[in-house]
Structure 1
Amino acid sequence: NNDLRRELSKHGASYGVGVSDNKFVIQIVGNERDLDKIMPIIFRLCLMPKLDNKQIEAVMGSAVQSRMFEKRIPGIISSALMEYIQFGDQSRYIDRIPSKKLIFVGESGYNFLITNSDLTATIQKVTSYPVNLHYVGAKPMEEVAEILKGTVPTQKTILEPQKEFYRDRVSYTEPEIYFLPNTDIQQAEVTMYFPIGNYDNSQYVDYTAFSRYFGAGGLNNICFSEIREKRSLAYSTYGAVSMNPMNKTSWFIGSTGTQNDKVNTVVDIYMDLIKNMPKFKSYGNNIKTTVMTELAEDYVTFRGKSSYYENTVKKMGFTEDPNKTWYKQAENLTFDNIAKFYDEKIKNAPVIIVIHGNPKYIDIKDIEKKYGKVNRVPISKIFQGGEM
């Protein structure tokens, strides 16, 4: 493969590979006058790979080694805790191949789960699915199509594409509190979370406007004003609603990094903001300007337009850039939109309070008395498969 990479470099070309839950992407950049020479090299790289077992073993070894330290790093612990709260057993820190299976001791020493033949078989399977091509360049499309015939890395037999996969969010109907005690942590993390429900694209402007007002508008939002600016209680604080238009889900998540002995106060103030949000109508015009500016400046680069159209515009049901539709909606935005969104979707939601902090300095009984039963989460609950 190094030889093939050197061949690519002769033509000023390079490639990158990416993978997600629903896509395998190969991006090729190079001088298009040599496209007829570049694509056969990519074909050989993908369909006739020369995979080195030592490199594969190094990748697995690195993954196993990083897992050995994940329970000691506060940021990773907080991330794993929120993965568990949102997705339960589908958390990426739980639903994974155990380290003991990735690397195990056999009669001849260390054995590795994945070998070059396994990876080759996986590549062959991946390249058996339909391919969408995006070309950006000056060559006529007919000429490009002729070059790509027989050089796009696909198998002869093409499989039916699988249905897109999205993880299910845990459903909550009542307020709950989750506490992960950690005596080694210097800074506590307090997170408020709750699913909002179905989302459709006509609500985008209201979702965005509320977020900018509540806690995702730089320094000009009520989270920053009430928690950090007025009371100096936080190193960082935010709160926003997020949405996935592909599976039409939405949720609120807000987090505050604070000193352990300030956790109780932060919980009280943040919960009061959620349940009794101050409504400053004077913020309305600023929020409107912010949303309109963001939409106007949300520019898709020339090279990204075709993939943006296919993967975003079409999938969301639009025939043109949705920012145009949303910009027109934003022109009529008032503070009443924010207030209505809050009253309908935020005010009465069952808030899940998540705390990662040092129990020596947190009055957890007081939190339980005010907001409901506390569920203690052992660190072993949110990490699985990391032990050797």
Structure 2
Amino acid sequence: MTLSYGVGNLEIPELDQTAEYLNLLGTENYSFNEFKNKLQKIGTSMSCSVDKNYFYISLKGFDKNFTESIKLVNEFVLNVKADEDKIKILIDSAESSRKIENEQPSTIGRALRDFVSMGDKSYYLRRMSVDDIKATEPNEYIKFFNKAMDYELDIMYTGKLSFNDVSSILKDNMALNPRPIKSNSPVDIEMKKYTNDLVYIVNDNQAVQSQIYFSVSGENINSKDRFISKAYNKYFGSGMSSIVFQEIREFRSLAYSAWGFYVRPNRNGKRGDFVGYVGCQADKTIDAISVFKDITFNMPEKPERIDQIKSSLIQTINSERPNFRQYPSIVRDWKRMSYFEDPRKKQVNYFKKMSFDDIIRFQKKNIENKPMVITIYTDMNQVNMTELSEYGEIIVLEKSDFIN
């Protein structure tokens, strides 16, 4: 069973450390070890986690002990006790993760891309800094936990108990908020709309490879666009038969990794965005950018592939049957996005009828000849900056600008 509260680290960034901290705590009545032992005696495990949209309390155990498990969850929710000694674990964990990030070019390249597209809403800036964690009192994390529990709660159970039994046990044994705050989740982070070609670059004299991202602001999406974008992604930038793979890697050997796809918002009526990536040797940066931009705007047309694309998309839908324990969360998200039946049914019907011209029209409407922003993490000594300036105004950043 999962208790899913309708707020995540996008709206309350401190919930990352809060979830980590809660997994180290006991309650006013039981120490951490005593509480864990009580759970273990009935074969139950409990953990807290968070993503950008939801805060979770996850429970695994036996149906025969469901009532006792819920009583222990309620004990934790109402009486969790802060422990100052455990704060050091949070600090050490954050310092360790920052050290690892600083040694991973792929993470730095991703953080640069996110900063340029999202600004201070980038995960790498909105999260708590190490100094923030050091300055936060233990009881403040309990307050963040309580704040998360003020939001709408989805309770997702999979097991053999009936709906009425689960509902009755929860009502009788767990404190539930009668007037929760309405959830905004799942939340779409609105990307910056690009109006000019720009190049953001970060120098690292030790970098052997370049991490290059390409971004184009698309148009507001509707249901048909949502379907076509999947076909476009399959054709252009996803998989070994895609245009990106063949043009960048297979034909020219310019990169060790390359892809490109159209990112869809959770809800119709909001803007989509094209995002592409090339990871290449630093001295191949200009060539890789040149080819990628060319095929993105002047997309090679291979209409003979349409039957293969349609078949692959339909086969993927038919074969990717979710694990039964995922059903509640999948249905929850569909409902929050205003679907009242499985949206994949309409996708299959559309894919059967679509033509290659649909992909072409989608690319021209949402991507072709729009302003492109490029972000690069590389050794600038190996890049011809004069040639690079042909792709837009160059803005040089430091890692400290986009990673806290």
Q: When the two structures are superposed, what TM-score results if normalisation uses the length of structure 2?
A: 0.86
Identify which of 244, 247, 258 aligns with 1:226. Answer: 247
Identify which of 354, 358, 364 aligns with 1:337. Answer: 358
Identify which of 343, 346, 363 aligns with 1:325. Answer: 346
Paired positions, count: 371
1:383 aligns with 2:388: no
> C-alpha separation between the residues in 2 aligned to 1:167 and 1:257?
25
Identity among equivalent positions (%) equals 25
Identify which of 84, 87, 90 aligns with 2:118. Answer: 87
SS of aligned partner of 1:244: coil
Matches within 5 A, 1:162-201: 162-164=183-185, 165-201=187-223
Report how far residue 5 of structure 1 moved.
1.9
Query: Relative to structure 2, which stretch is displaced further, 220-229 or 344-353?
Result: 344-353
SS of aligned partner of 1:4: helix
Report how far residue 238 of structure 1 moved.
0.7
Which residue does the alignment assign to 2:297?
275
* Contact 1:199/1:249, CA 8 A, preserved across alignment: yes
Structure 1 residues 343 and 166, CA gap change in structure 2 (3 angstroms): closer
Identify which of 306, 310, 316 aligns with 1:288. Answer: 310
SS of aligned partner of 2:125: coil
Which residue does the alignment assign to 1:139?
161
Query: Relative to structure 2, which stretch is displaced further, 61-70 or 188-197?
Result: 61-70
Report how far residue 153 of structure 1 moved.
4.5
Which residue does the alignment assign to 1:37?
68
Report how far residue 69 of structure 1 moved.
5.6
Report how far residue 166 of structure 1 moved.
4.0
Report how far residue 26 of structure 1 moved.
1.4
Report how far residue 180 of structure 1 moved.
1.4
Query: Relative to structure 2, which stretch is displaced further, 287-296 or 120-129?
Result: 120-129
Report how far residue 345 of structure 1 moved.
1.3
Which residue does the alignment assign to 1:124?
146
- CA root-mean-square deviation: 2.0
Identify which of 53, 59, 77 aligns with 1:28. Answer: 59
* Contact 2:152/2:183, CA 8 A, preserved across alignment: no
Alignment-mate amino acid for residue 274 of structure 2:
F
* Contact 1:238/1:254, CA 8 A, preserved across alignment: yes
Query: Relative to structure 2, which stretch is displaced further, 353-362 or 205-214?
Result: 353-362
Task: Point out where structure 2 has 5 or more consecutive residues left out of the alignment.
Answer: 1-31
Deviations 1:341-375 (CA, angstroms, capped at 9, x unpaired): 1121111221112222111211121121x322211
Report how far residue 118 of structure 1 moved.
2.0
1:315 aligns with 2:331: no
Structure 1 residues 101 and 30, CA gap change in structure 2 (3 angstroms): closer
Deviations 1:315-338 (CA, angstroms, capped at 9, x unpaired): 222211111111111111221111
* Contact 1:127/1:153, CA 8 A, preserved across alignment: no
Alignment-mate amino acid for residue 165 of structure 2:
E
Deviations 1:235-284 (CA, angstroms, capped at 9, x unpaired): 11111111122473311111111111111111111111012111011111
* Contact 1:205/1:291, CA 8 A, preserved across alignment: no
Matches within 5 A, 1:152-163: 152-154=174-176, 158-163=179-184
> C-alpha separation between the residues in 2 aligned to 1:315 and 1:95?
25
Report how far residue 148 of structure 1 moved.
1.1
Identify which of 391, 399, 402 aligns with 1:371. Answer: 391
Report how far residue 228 of structure 1 moved.
0.8
* Contact 1:199/1:245, CA 8 A, preserved across alignment: no
Alignment-mate amino acid for residue 222 of structure 1:
I
Structure 1 residues 357 and 287, CA gap change in structure 2 (3 angstroms): same
* Contact 2:106/2:211, CA 8 A, preserved across alignment: no
Deviations 1:160-216 (CA, angstroms, capped at 9, x unpaired): 335445433112112111121221101112221122132233322210111111111
Task: Point out where structure 1 has 5 or more consecutive residues left out of the alignment.
Answer: 104-111
* Contact 2:244/2:258, CA 8 A, preserved across alignment: yes
Structure 1 residues 192 and 281, CA gap change in structure 2 (3 angstroms): same
> C-alpha separation between the residues in 1 aligned to 2:322 and 2:231?
22
Which residue does the alignment assign to 2:88?
57
> C-alpha separation between the residues in 1 aligned to 2:205 and 2:66?
59
> C-alpha separation between the residues in 2 aligned to 1:118 and 1:354?
37
Report how far residue 376 of structure 1 moved.
1.6
